[in-house]
Amino acid sequence: MKQLSSQLFQKFFTKKDIGGEISINDLRDKEFSGEKLAADEKKALANFDQYRIRILNAQDDEETYHNTYRQLQVIANLGDWKEFLKEDYNSL
């Protein structure tokens, strides 16, 4: 039963099925599984990490920090990784 549940989850909840973009976390998964990342993919990961640290360090209180952390998780899970190749993130 557990295998069937897992198959259904994969069938109905993949980004390919819903038209989602490749995300920062997809790149992390790719890297952790032993696949080589292209230079621009590595750059996007580094830019996101720098951005995340800068944004989290700027928070003044615990509640704001946790809300911001959750927002960054959503960005890492659902946002297009190419966003972090833009000039805005290169200068961080």
Using the 8-state DSSP alphabet, how is residue 81 labeled? G
Query: What residues does each domain of the chain span?
Result: 20-90
User: What pLDDT is recorded for position 53?
Assistant: 95
Q: Is the pLDDT of residue 18 over 90?
A: no
Name the token pair of 48: 């996101």
Element holding 62 (H helix, E strand): helix 62-78
Position 76 confidence tier, pLDDT thresholds 50, 70, 90: very high
- C-beta of residue 80 within 8 angstroms of C-beta of residue 63: no
Summarised one tens digit per residue, pLDDT across range 22-35 is 999 999 999 999 99
Residue 80 and residue 24: Cα distance in Å, rounded? 7
